[in-house]
Structure 1
């Protein structure tokens, strides 16, 4: 209760675990959106919670496809291949899931990433992805644009990500009035709700 924001009826004390995830996501955002950073090419292994939140929070508007991951980024109508065809993604080894959209679409290289005996689900997923890729045209002179859905301008901020971690929490009626009264020193006076 103490870490819930004041507008939701909590005490507004920052929860360090959630804040830590939000701050680590900033590194992932910068690594993906700013290739000029000196540490851009260093290997990155964000924790599971950070990866999951990044997948939920960020989608990609594909330009040239050079910075968008074909298998795991949300770039097809706001969804990832893993969401559209999970069995197909499961048939792709982890080392090949780092393929970019531009390299995957070149000569249909993505189809060669699929390994193992094809099950009915893998074949259906493959056909579905083929249909979705029919209309995809890369724009060679346009950079991929990463968009954070939790901020008004689409640019990631740790603050907006931290607040988004409380989406779904129930607001306490009158919490704003209660906290404004407390901050003015009017704790002993009754609060109208």
Structure 2
């Protein structure tokens, strides 16, 4: 009897530890939306970091022929006033070389033409939307598209458009004009568009 008790006690102790050691699992509650407090400060947008190797590399500069890219009128973002719709129809897109935010001569001429049209419509606010082709990382393309939009805003401001009428946003590769995977498709995707902002 003593021998069987010596064997039974460790087995029972182990069983008790195992049973008591496994706690009951509680149901996980779903996250609930928290209303923003009135004292919360809006945070500044975070700028994506660019890869150091991409910044050091010299961009390949191949000129785009005028015949390969045709000027397309920009569609209005929303149906607004007749003046806003006329401005959006009148403003043309500009295009960039691969991995570049530098304005080409053709882009400068288009921006100058857009400036003349904007001067005739002083109450219209424009959002410059920068875009990239699908090559490159998401972070790099977002930063590049933002720089492209800023380059157009800077040029229009230098021509005389008040900065309060212009805003810039970069979409990276998220809004392709052409979903193809060829050089011509990529060239059409490396662009700035001009839309009426609300």
Global fold match (TM > 0.5): no
More strand by share: 2
* Larger RCO (CA within 8 A; separation ≥ 6): 1
Short-chain TM bin: under 0.3
